[in-house]
Amino acid sequence: MFEEKNIVLASSSPRRKELLEKAGIAFGVRISHADEDFPGNMPVEKVPEHLAVKKAMTIQRQSNEGELILAADTIVVLDDKILGKPESDAHAKEILRLLSGKMHRVITGVCLLQGRKMIGFSEVTKVFFYDLAESQIDYYVANYHPLDKAGAYAIQEWIGLTGIEKIEGDYFNVVGLPVSRVIKEIEIF
């Protein structure tokens, strides 16, 4: 699907790659090493799209004419505070304790860039965790090593099966890419 679009995924995320493959989208991969800085006064809702644009523009500098660059960035937001990727197992447990029994937002910003044409958008999904027992948090961190995941969890892993009460919005957005919206945007790009 979309072979004529010559799509380049600007991401090292195995989850994004898997989602696009499952959707039947042909693409190449180039990893963006754009910095993830953003203005301190930027509203959190704007941060992922801002970072996705930076990633896309970094890849565009090294791309061939005609390539459609797809970049994305996902953040987890609790009470208007961005919870990044944990720095250690202890930090992962701390983040999961914060999420326990609460609703948080997962926001993925996406940028499609080809030549001078660019589309950017964000998708928001609300995730509601049950109260997590300390033993559940310990088990998850010890067995799933969530250090490379925003918010210290992956919804498609054990914690998602056992600890999430409900979600409002796109499940795949929480995995890392709102695939159906991406497809719709590529179709009209």
pLDDT of res. 33: 85
pLDDT in tens, 64-108: 788 999 999 999 999 999 999 999 999 999 999 999 999 999 999
Give mean pLDDT, residues 109-116.
Answer: 96
- Model confidence pLDDT, tens digit, residues 17-65: 999 999 999 999 999 888 888 888 899 999 999 999 999 999 998 877 8
Its pTM stands at 0.93
73 noted as active-site residue: yes
The span from the CA of 17 to the CA of 32, in Å, is: 14
- Identify the pLDDT of residue 35: 81
> Which one from 37, 73, 131, 148 is the annotated catalytic residue?
73
List the domains of the chain with CATH numbers.
3-188 (3.90.950.10)
Name the pairing type of β-strands 27-29 and 7-9: parallel
